[in-house]
């Protein structure tokens, strides 16, 4: 069993797309909320343990991107970063959040950078987790991964191989939250099949937006990630109020593999 602080599920309707959100802790007037964004093929459950650490004294809101988790899929495959950016704008307006802190992993970080550049007065601090500001690979260079699994044990085994450092309870929660029942007793990915073929963020280049940011930035890199440390260090060098840390023994999915370390870095950064 996994102990969990107060957790609410909510669906927010945004111009034809319903976004599922996980909300940890309770809303407080004396603390800005924290939003945490996941990456491609991820779900909000990736952030569970980190959100548990950070929700004491503030509310932590974890939306699931369109086409992912329990959020609605786009009928016309409108999955560009601009589409997610508009969703984030609509979500914050719908929740009447005038100002917040934001932490984004991978694609979620790119969305966060774009939002912060467009609405600098609405982001107090921004944490960027394990992503490069531009890409050399084309959008259709997607790593092969199974679409379905014979049982939940197979899902956990796949996630364990990809994320060897993840705590067992969190890994099981993330694995179970990433699939739904399919045909003939199988389990299928909750995300749109579109993402088995194309990753639209590979068209992104946010170097200019990143250089324009004036709010404090925290950049976290997984020491065992495919994301290049030297690129993230160069990203950190663009802003005078940025910090860079590398998380030892962790790969790309930092909140999954090193939740306590990531939570500690985020807590120190956002409370400073």
Domains of the chain (ranges plus CATH)?
7-138+197-271 (3.40.50.1820)
The model's pLDDT over 147-206, given as tens digits with 9 standing for 90+, comes to 999 999 999 999 999 999 999 999 999 999 999 999 999 999 999 999 999 999 999 999
The model's pLDDT over 3-55, given as tens digits with 9 standing for 90+, comes to 566 789 999 999 889 999 999 998 888 899 999 999 999 999 999 999 999 99
The arithmetic mean of pLDDT across residues 124-143, rounded, is 97
CA distance 255 to 199: 21
User: Who's near 260: CB < 8 A, 6+ residues apart?
Assistant: 49, 53
144 by Cβ neighbours in 10 Å (0-12 / 13-18 / 19+) ranks as exposed
Model confidence at 272: pLDDT above 80: no
CA distance 110 to 242: 16
Q: Which of 159, 143, 130, 160 is nearest to 223 (CA)?
A: 130
pLDDT at 1: 41
């Amino acid at each position: 069993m996994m102990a969990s602080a107060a957790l609410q599920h909510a669906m927010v309707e945004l111009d034809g797309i319903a976004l599922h959100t996980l909300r940890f802790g309770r809303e407080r007037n004396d603390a800005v909320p924290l939003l945490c964004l996941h990456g491609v093929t991820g779900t909000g459950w990736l952030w569970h343990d980190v959100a548990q650490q950070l929700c004491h004294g503030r509310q932590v809101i974890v939306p699931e991107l369109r086409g992912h988790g329990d959020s609605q899929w786009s009928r016309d495959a409108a999955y560009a970063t601009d589409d997610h950016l508009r969703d984030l704008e609509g979500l914050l307006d719908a929740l009447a959040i005038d100002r917040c802190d934001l932490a984004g992993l991978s694609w979620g970080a790119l969305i966060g950078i774009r939002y912060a550049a467009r609405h600098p007065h609405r982001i107090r601090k921004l944490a960027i987790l394990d992503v490069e500001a531009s890409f050399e690979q084309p959008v259709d260079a997607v790593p092969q991964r199974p679409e379905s699994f014979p049982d939940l044990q197979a899902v956990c085994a796949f996630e364990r191989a990809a994320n060897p450092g993840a705590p067992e309870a969190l890994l099981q929660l993330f694995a179970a939250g990433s699939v739904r029942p399919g045909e003939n007793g199988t389990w299928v990915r909750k995300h749109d099949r579109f993402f088995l073929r194309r990753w639209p963020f590979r068209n992104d280049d946010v170097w200019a937006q990143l250089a324009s940011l004036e709010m404090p930035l925290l950049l976290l890199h997984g020491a065992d990630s495919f994301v290049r440390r030297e690129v993230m260090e160069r990203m950190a060098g663009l802003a005078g109020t940025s910090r860079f840390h590398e998380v030892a023994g962790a790969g790309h999915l930092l909140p999954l593999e090193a939740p306590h370390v990531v939570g500690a870095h985020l807590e120190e950064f956002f409370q400073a």
